[in-house]
A and B are shown apart, each in its own frame.
Chain A
Amino acid sequence: MPTREPTIREMPPPPHIVGLQHFITYAEIDEILRSRSFRQGSHQESQPFFGRSLLTIDGDEHFERRRLEAPLFAKAALEYYEHTELIPLIGKTLEECRDNRGDDGIVRADLCVLLRTMLARIAAATTGIDGVDTPERTTAFREYVEQLGTGATVEWSTEDHDEVIRRILAVRDDFDRDFFASSVARRRALIEQFHQGEIERDELPVDLITMLYLHWNDDWDDGLPIREACLFLVAATQTTTHSVPHLIAHLDEWFETHPEDRARVTDREYIKRAAHEALRLHLPSPALLRIANEDVMLSNGKTIATDERVACLFTPANRDPNVFGPDAGEFNPYREVSSVKPWGLTFGGGEHICIGRTLVTGLSARTDNDEGTDGTLVNIASALYDAGIEIDPDDPPAYTEASHHDAYGRFPILLTKL
């Protein structure tokens, strides 16, 4: 029997944060993220990709941008998006897998590739990129987003950083030519029609690009929309693609010791709780950096000097027994937490807290509530269980070699009910 990687992996801190003061408890990180005495400290080298985007600006400029983009995540927008875009896109992507039926009649797929395809389409819809439809176009788009992701996280790269930036800027020009420019042109024409009174406001698409051009700010440079779009594309795809395989791996392991729970995969409330645990244990962004605007003393007496850059390590904080109980390092879909979010600090905190969180985890606290949405994680996992997902017993999942991260690089599955 081939051996499986451990579902909980010990990770050394990534090299670019060595030498910085580290914070590892839930309370101190929460305090730093919420404090107005700090500013964004991540993504300093990746400015050509994320510069002046929502993630890298602070203070009033950040607040105004957040106000501008928040309507994308309003209740009505999320409901529209989940029912009109997300659920059909998940179904379409699974349908395409039917072409990979083996001689034994079973459909096989790599969950990592499947998720990247689904998420590329989902991210294209929220960002406002047209033409991500056929499998060929989706693959081309997905590859662009993956490359842009490499540029946006150049700080973590083991290659020469200047070389990475040069290469990925050229890739971005191709992305502009193949997808971005025409998507912008279509939206600008619609906005013009709206200004001329030819169409109503609610006939405009609900996506980031439309929002930016509808509320254009003359202080922005012409390159801002593509950088903001890159942020949305990378932030939306890489994170969810990271989380779903962990959810499936944990549930598979849990069912071995709790076989009575296996039938509960059709229970969306159960999947939601399991998803919160997977989010808590496996962070797509395991470390966030902040810079102090002034000398700071935290409630626990630790001090940070003006302009000092500090690293907040989320993995230990999200396994803090003082917050999540004595079994904090383990997966338990029945965990009850009070006073903090069940996913802990996975979506960050303070002003830069993830703007897309409600897309991922849904609006309603419970899934049996007609109001609101269940979010991408529950919808994707439920669709996978409906399709009869099983981890391929002959070809176990493996972590990617390319990163310190606990990210799966390949995750072969069977879809026995397709």
Chain B
Amino acid sequence: MNEEQLHVTVDHLQCQGVGYCERVAPRVFRLGDDALSHVIDKHPPESEREAVEEAETLCPSRAIRY
């Protein structure tokens, strides 16, 4: 596969802390005490791609980019 490497970000101005991202991709996102999602692995392995894509679609605030 020659997919580009993942580069995951969460826009904190958009995030509403619903936490769906953490539930589908717990290796990549963690909901902090500040009620915002934090990216704990900005460049996750290719095996996380599907989970990150699903997190992007599920995110009600469309705060995730990758």
Contacts and interface: CB of A to CB of B under 8 A. Distances in A.
A357 B35 contact: no
Interface string B29-62: 0000001000000000000000000100110111
Interface stretch (A183-191, A278-286, A348-356): A348-356
Given A34-B35, A71-B57, A74-B57, A353 B16 contact: yes
Among B23, B57, B60, B62, which residue has the most Cβ atoms of chain A within 10 A? B60
Given A34-B35, A63-B23, A70 B58 contact: yes
B20 A66 contact: yes
Give chain A's interface residue range (CB within 8 Å of chain B). Answer: 20 to 34
A363 B57 CA distance: 11
A73 B17 contact: no
Nearest to B12: A339
Contact of B17 (A34, A341, A347, A354): A34
B52 to A, nearest CB: 13
Contacts of A350: 18
B24 interface: yes
Among A70, A74, A75, A347, which residue has the most Cβ atoms of chain B within 10 A? A70
Contacts of B14: 365
Nearest to B16: A349
Given A74-B57, A349-B16, A358 B62 contact: yes
A67 interface: yes
Contacts, number: 37
Among B20, B23, B58, B61, which residue has the most Cβ atoms of chain A within 10 A? B58
B60 A341 contact: no
Given A34-B35, A363-B62, A70 B57 contact: yes
B60 A63 contact: no
B18 A357 contact: no
B24 A353 contact: no
Interface in A347-401: 347, 349-351, 353-355, 357-358, 363, 365
Contact of A73 (B35, B54, B57): B57
A34 B35 CA distance: 9
Contacts of B16: 34, 341, 349, 353
Nearest to B35: A34
Contacts of B18: 34, 349-351, 353
Interface of B: 13-14, 16-18, 20, 23-24, 35, 54, 57-58, 60-62
Interface of A: 34, 63, 66-67, 70-71, 73-75, 338-339, 341, 347, 349-351, 353-355, 357-358, 363, 365
